């Protein structure tokens, strides 16, 4: 893995994390959906109750990639899992092994934390990423489809709930 090191992100990495998120959003043609800002990320990544964690891949003193992840829980397994929300390596750094190193570190964390699985989603048009995931042993969960509730639909459902007593 040719000089690539993986480390936990620190609060002073916030600008780098934001840059990675924006670059990923551009790559995925979703820049219009990228709303995260420095204050949000500081609170949710490094605040009193962190909701996610970030790994940074460094090569020759420069951050070249990141992985943002959090824990989920499998009721069937009775154990936690790790959900990889974002994985991104700068185009000029691809081929150095940074993506594989980030995933290997996540696999190690999953084992150390007694997780049953490591999961992620990939856009169906992203053939290079899909090929990479297959090469490391990833498999598609074709029988499952992702569902999402956000925006006005999320607010509408919330407002229909009975108030807590």
Where in the sequence numbering do the catalytic residues fall?
A: 133
Q: What is the distance between the alpha carbons of residues 138 and 126, in angstroms, rounded to a whole number?
A: 14
Beta strands in the chain (DSSP E): 4-8, 53-59, 62-74, 79-89, 118-120
Contact 120, 84 (CB under 8 A): yes
SS3 of 79, please?
Answer: strand
């Amino acid at each position: 893995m040719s000089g690539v090191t993986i480390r936990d992100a620190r609060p002073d990495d916030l600008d780098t994390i934001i840059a990675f998120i924006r670059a990923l959003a551009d790559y995925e043609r979703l820049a219009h959906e990228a709303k995260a800002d420095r204050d949000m990320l500081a609170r949710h990544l490094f605040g009193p109750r962190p909701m996610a964690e970030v790994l940074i891949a460094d090569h020759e003193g420069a951050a070249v990639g990141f992985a943002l992840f959090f824990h989920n829980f499998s009721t069937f397994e009775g154990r936690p899992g790790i959900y990889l929300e974002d994985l991104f390596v700068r185009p000029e750094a691809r081929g150095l092994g940074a993506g594989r190193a980030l995933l290997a570190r996540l696999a190690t964390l999953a084992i150390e934390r007694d997780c049953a699985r490591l999961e992620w989603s990939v856009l169906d048009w992203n053939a290079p990423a899909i090929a990479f995931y297959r090469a490391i042993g990833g498999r598609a969960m074709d029988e499952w489809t992702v569902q999402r509730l956000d925006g006005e639909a999320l607010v509408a459902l919330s407002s229909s709930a009975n108030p807590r007593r």
